[in-house]
Amino acid sequence: MKTKVLAIDDSRTIRNLLAAALEEAGFEYHCAVDGRDGVDMYGDVAPDVVITDINMPNLDGFGVIEELRGTDINSKVPILVLTTESAPELKARARAAGATGWITKPFDDQSLIFALKRVTGAAA
Amino acid sequence: MSGSIQDTFFEECEDLLEAMDEGLTAIEGGEHDQEVVNAIFRAVHSIKGGAGAFGLDELVGFAHKFETVFDELRSGKLEFDAALIQLLLRSSDHLADLVATARDGGTTDEAHHDVLIEALAKYIPEEEEDLTFEPMGLGGAMAPMPLIEDTTERAYEIRFQPLKDMYGTGNEPFFLFQALSELGELSVRLNESELPGFDAFDADESYLAWDLTLVSNEPRSAIEAVFEFVEGLCELTIESEADEAEDTDALAALNAAFGTDPDASGDAAPAAPFEEPAPAPEAVVSAPVEEKASPPKAETAKAGPKPTLRVDLERVDRLINAVGELIINHSMLAQQIANLDAGDVREVETELEGFKNLARDIQEGVMSIRAQPVKPLFQRMARIVREASSATGKTAKLVTEGEATEVDKTVIERLSDPLTHILRNAVDHGIEKPEDRAAAGKSNAGEIRLTASHRSGSVCIEIRDDGAGVNRPRVKQIAIDKGLIPENAELTDNEIDNLLFLPGFSTAKEISNLSGRGVGMDVVKNAVTGLGGRINISSTPGKGSTFTIILPLTLAVMDGMVVSVADQTMVVPITSIVETMRGSDEMINNLGADGTLLSIRGNFVPICDVADALGLRQHYDQPPGVYLLVETETGQRSALAVDDIYDQRQVVIKSLDGVCGNIPGVAAATILGDGKIAMILDPESILAASPSAAGFDTDRRISNAIAS
C-alpha cells in the first residue's frame, strides 16, 4: 500500500509541485485548498502524513496542527510544515503546536522525499 | 520542472495579482481591515513561494521585501499612511511587471526596481531584515546530502537520547534510524540503563537512549540532516575519529540556532513511553516499513469551498462552434419540414419549437462559460490612470462601477487596449491640471468613472471624466488645418466631438510622452467596431466628456433580421435597427438629383438603398417596399431600403477573415436554414458607402473629404 500524503496549501502552484514530486516518488497524494478544508478532509483521507502550509485563509497552518493534534481528532501522524520562512521562531511555534518537521520552500524533490522518509520511514 | 506546472504558476499569479490589486484598492479607499491586509500578504507570499520553486530570484527578492512590509502592517508594527499606500500601489504594479517579465522574457526597469526596494526597506526594521528564507545553516532541508565534503569512510558513534517532548511531535526514532541506515552500515543498541524500576516509572517520561554506530563515507552534515527535526528535542552527540574537535562547536551552534539548550532540559529523567515502537536492540535496521492499516477513504482531492473547473479554452470554443452548427441545423430542419408536402405537421412543429428553445438554452449556457466579469480588466485600468496621472503631474482617480458585468472573454481581452487608450487620453487631455481645476472651482483630484452595464442584449462601457470637456473650436480648427473637413463645414457639437475618431487626428499640441504616440482615437474606434461594437463621445465644456462603447454580448451568435435585397438574402443586426416600416409613395420625398428622404411622423431621414450601396443594382425603378430605420453612433438616423423582410432569427456569425478581404458594407456571413450563405450587413459602413445618404451624413462627408 502506498503511503498517503495529505497536502494542505492554498497555492495551486505548490499543490501541483507537491503532486508531481509525490506521485513520481510513488506516494498517494491528496490535497486540500486551505486549512479548514484540510482539517475537514483529514478523516476521510486518513493520511499517513500531513504536509501543511502556514499562511492560508480559513485557518492557518498552526491552526491545522492544533486541531489535528487536539483532543477531537487526536492525530498521531507526522505533520510537516511547508513554509518559506525558516526563521527559528516559526519552527519553534510549529513544533510547540505539535509539528513533526518542516520543509523549506522552495523545496526540491529530493529534500521533500528525504523529509518524508525521516518522519514516515517511507520513500513511497 | 515541468513546463505545465510553471504555466499554472503564472495563471495562479494572475489571480493572486488580482486579489492583491483588489485589496490595495480597498486599502486606498480607506478600508484598513485586518483581513484585507492578510489577504494581500498571502497573495504576495504565494507568488514568492511559487517563484522560489522556479528559481525566479528577482521576483522572489522583490516579493519578499513587499511581503515583509505587509507582515509589519498586519502585526500592527506599521501603520498605513498616504505615502506608504502610494508606495505599495507602485510596488504591486512592479510586482506584476516582474511576473510578466518572468513569464514573457524581457527586462524590467532596474533603476525603478532599486528605488522601490530601497523605499520598501525603509519600512522594514533591521532585525526583521534577517527573517529571510535562506537555507538553514546546519544540515538544513535545502542541503540534505552535500557531496563536496570529505568522503572517506569512517565510523560515527552517535548517541541519541530523546527528550519526552519529542514524542509529542510525531517523530519516531525508528524512522530516523532507517534514514540513517541509508547512509551506510548502521548498528543500533538500545540503552535502557536509565529505565527506572517499575515503581518509579512515569509513563509520560522518556527514559530510553540509543547508541548507534554508523560506518559511512557521508560527511557528518548528512547525519545532522537526519536529526534536523529533532534538534532541541533530544540529546545528540555525533563523534568520529576525524572530526572529534568539531563536534562540540557544531552542536553548540545547533542548539543556539534553535534556542534550545540541552543542558537546561537535560535533567529530565530518561524513560520510555509505552507506545514507543522500540526497534530490536542490536539489530541492523533494514526491516521494511509496516504499512499502517487505514480505513478505505474517499476519492482523492475534495473540492475547495467553491468548486471550479479550469478548462482549455479550445474545448469551450469547439462546443460553441458545435452549438452554432446546432442552431443552423435547426433552421435547416424547420425549413425542410415547411417544404414537406405532408399535411398536418403541427405536432412536429411543436417539437421543433422545443428543439429551438433547448438549442438556445445550450447556447446561452455555453456562452456563459466564456463570459467573464470585467472586474480584472477594470482593476488593471486603475493602474493605467495611476501611471498616467504621475506622468502628467495631474491627480486623477478611477472609480469603477458594474464590475460584475459579464462579457465574452475575447471581448474583454480586446477591450484592454482601447480602454487603456481612452483612459490615458482622459487623464492627458481631459482632466485639467490641479491649479486649473481649483480655478474652475473643482476639487483638485479629477475623477474618471468607468462603468459597465448590460443594456438590452448589449454591453455598455462608459468612461466619464469630470475634466474640461472637448475644446470644440480647437478640435474643429485642427480638423480644418489637417484637411479633414472643408473650411466652411457646418458641424453640430456632437459632430465636432466625433471628429476625434478620425484617422490622423491628434489634439496634443506637442506629442506628450503619454497618449500622443501617433496612435489616435481612430485606432480605438477600429478596435471597437472590430468587435462589432460602436463608440460615441459626448462632452460638456467645463464639465467633462463621456465615451460610450456599446458591444455585443457575444461574438458568435446574434439576433438578425433576414431581409431580401435585389433577390439576395441578407442579415441586418437587430441591435442597429430602431424601427421598421413599410413605405408608401407619399412618404418619399426627392431631394436634388438622386437624393431621397423618407418622411416619418414629420421628420425627414435620408434613404440609403442597400442594393445600390452594395452595387447590386444601379438604380431602382420601383421604390423598395421596406425601410429599416437605423441610428448611427453619432445619433444620425437613416433609412435602409430593402425589398422585403423575411424573418427575425438568431444567426451564427461566421467570420470572413481569411476567406476574402474587407468588403465595404459586409460585416460577416452566416448560414441560413436552407443551407445558403447570407451576408451579415454592417449598416454603418453601408451608409458611409452610399452616395444618396452622404449629403446628410457627417461621417460620410468627412470620409469623402479624406479620400479626396
User: What's the pLDDT at A8?
Assistant: 93
pLDDT bin (cut points 50, 70, 90) of residue B450 is very high
The pLDDT value recorded for residue A102 is 84
Residue B249: which pLDDT band, with cuts at 50, 70 and 90?
Answer: low
Residue B194's pLDDT is 76
Average pLDDT of span B616-629: 70
**pLDDT reading at B458 higher than 50:** yes
Reply yes or no on whether the pLDDT at B579 is more than 60: yes
Of B48, B175, B294, the CB nearest to A120: B175
pLDDT at residue B464 tops 90: yes
**Confidence at residue B478, expressed as pLDDT on a 0 to 100 scale:** 84
Asked whether the predicted pLDDT for residue B28 surpasses 80, the reply is yes
Section B436-448 average pLDDT:
88
- Which CATH entry fits the domain spanning B374-552: 3.30.565.10, 3.30.1020.10, 3.40.1280.10, 3.40.50.2300? 3.30.565.10
pLDDT value at B625 more than 70 = yes
In three-state secondary structure terms, B143 is coil
Low-confidence winner among B31-35, B352-356, B617-621 (lowest mean pLDDT): B617-621
Tell me the residue length of chain A: 124
What residues form DSSP beta bridges with B609? B641
pLDDT tens digits, B374-400: 888 888 888 888 888 888 888 888 999
Partners of B301 on chain A (C-beta within 8 Å) are 30-31
- pLDDT per position as a tens digit, B194-245: 777 777 777 777 778 888 888 888 777 788 888 888 877 888 888 876 555 4
pLDDT band at B292 (very low <50, low <70, confident <90, very high): very low
* Across B284-299, average pLDDT: 41
Span B309-337, average pLDDT: 82
Q: Rounded to an integer, what distance in angstroms lies between the CA atom of residue B526 and that of residue B522?
A: 6
- Residue A123: band (very low, low, confident or very high) from pLDDT cuts 50, 70, 90: low
Overall domain count for chain A: 1
Confidence (pLDDT) at B630? 85
CATH number for the domain harbouring residue A114: 3.40.50.2300
CA distance B293 to chain A (A): 9
Angle between helices A12-24 and A109-120 (to 10 degrees): 70
Q: Nearest C-alpha of chain B: how many angstroms from A39?
A: 12
| pLDDT digits 0-9 by tens, B214-227 | 888 877 778 888 88
Per-residue pLDDT, B461:
92
User: With 60 as the cut, is the pLDDT of residue B105 above it?
Assistant: yes
Whether the per-residue pLDDT at B517 is higher than 80: the answer is: no
Strand, coil or helix: B467: coil
Taking 60 as the threshold, does the pLDDT of residue B23 lie above it? Answer: yes
DSSP letter assigned to residue B499: G
Which grid coordinates belong to B533? 461594437
Q: Are A78 and B52 within 8 A, CB to CB?
A: no
Confidence label for B266 from pLDDT (cuts 50, 70 and 90): very low
Average of pLDDT values for B506-525?
58
Q: How far apart are CA B653 and CA B556, in angstroms?
A: 5
> With an 8 Å Cβ cutoff, are A118 and B169 in contact?
no
The DSSP result for B286-310, as a single string, is -PPPPPPP----PPS----SS----
How does DSSP classify residue A2? P
Find the residue in A nearest to B286 (Cα): A121
Contacts for B307 with CB less than 8 Å, ≥ 6 apart? none
The confidence score (pLDDT) of residue B181 equals 83
Rounded mean pLDDT of B647-670?
78
For residue B267, the model assigns a pLDDT of 43
Checking if the pLDDT of B256 tops 90, the result is no
pLDDT at B219: 78
Cell of A87: 526563521
The domain defined by B557-707 carries CATH number 3.30.230.10: no
- Between residues B152 and B628, the one the model is more confident about: B628
- Mutate which of B10, B44, B46 to test chain A, going by most A C-beta atoms within 10 A? B46
Sorting pLDDT into bands at 50, 70 and 90, what band is B515? very low
As given in the structure block, the three cell numbers for residue B708 are 479626396
Q: Please, are residues A14 and B42 in contact by the beta-carbon 8 Å criterion?
A: no
More confident site: B512 or B443 = B443
Q: At what angle do helices A12-24 and B3-28 cross, to 10 degrees?
A: 160
Check residue B33 and give its pLDDT.
Answer: 81
Q: Is A118 in contact with B176 (Cβ distance < 8 A)?
A: yes
- Higher pLDDT pick, B138 / B173: B173
User: Does the pLDDT at position B531 exceed 50?
Assistant: yes
* pLDDT-wise least confident of A4-18, B258-272, B569-583: B258-272
The 3-state secondary structure of B218-261, one letter per residue: CCHHHHHHHCHHHCCCEEEEEEECCCHHHHHHHHHHHHHHHCCC
- B142·A111 Cβ contact <8 A: yes
pLDDT of residue B154: 79
Residues of A in contact with B39 (CB under 8 A): 57
DSSP 8-state code for residue B466: -
pLDDT at position B511 is 44
Q: Cβ–Cβ of B294/A76 closer than 8 Å?
A: no
Inter-chain residue contact B133 with A120, CB threshold 8 Å: no
Residues of B in contact with A60 (CB under 8 A): none
CA-atom Rg of chain B in angstroms: 37
SS3 letters for B656-679?
Answer: CCCCCCCCCCEEEEEECCCCCEEE
pLDDT band at B622 (very low <50, low <70, confident <90, very high): low
Exposure on the CB side of residue B310, measured as CA atoms within 13 A? 7
CA distance B140 to A101: 11
Q: Which residues of A touch B289 (CB under 8 A)?
A: 120-122
pLDDT at B298 exceeding the cut of 70: no
b/e map B471-483, b = 16+ CB within 10 Å: ebeebbebbeeee
Architecture of domain B154-265: 2-Layer Sandwich (3.30)
Bridge partners (DSSP) of residue B638 are B630
Cα pseudo-dihedral B221, B224, B225, B231, rounded to 10? -150
**Cβ contact, residue pair A85, B136, below 8 Å:** no
* CA-based end-to-end distance of chain B: 61
Closest CA to A97 of A52, A56, A58, A42: A52
Q: Which residues of A touch B258 (CB under 8 A)?
A: 88, 91-92
B121 has pLDDT over 70: yes
Q: Strand order in B209-216's β-sheet?
A: B184-191, B209-216, B154-162, B234-240
3-state SS class at B273: coil
Quick one: pLDDT band at residue A6, thresholds 50, 70, 90?
Answer: very high
CATH topology assigned to domain B3-129:
Four Helix Bundle (Hemerythrin (Met), subunit A) (1.20.120)
Averaged pLDDT score across all residues of chain B:
76
- Confidence band for B150, pLDDT divided at 50, 70 and 90: low
**CB of B639 closer than 8 Å to CB of B598:** yes
Cβ contact A61:A94 at 8 Å? yes
Find, in chain A, the residue whose alpha carbon is nearest to that of B175: A121
Cβ-Cβ contacts under 8 Å between A and B: the total is 167
Asked if residue B268 has pLDDT above 60, the reply is: no
Q: Which domain holds residue A76?
A: 4-120
- 3-state secondary structure at position B156: strand
| Among chain B residues, CA nearest to A101 | B229
Between B70 and B303, where is the model more confident?
B70
For B293-418, list the strands marked E by DSSP.
Answer: 371-373, 396-401, 406-408
- CB-based burial of residue B669 (10 Å sphere; 0-12 exposed, 13-18 middle, 19+ buried)? buried
pLDDT beyond 70 at B694:
no
Check pLDDT > 80 for residue B575.
no
DSSP structure class, residue B430: I
pLDDT higher than 50, residue B137 = no
Cell 414629420 appears where?
A: B602
Question: Is the per-residue pLDDT at B281 higher than 60?
Answer: no
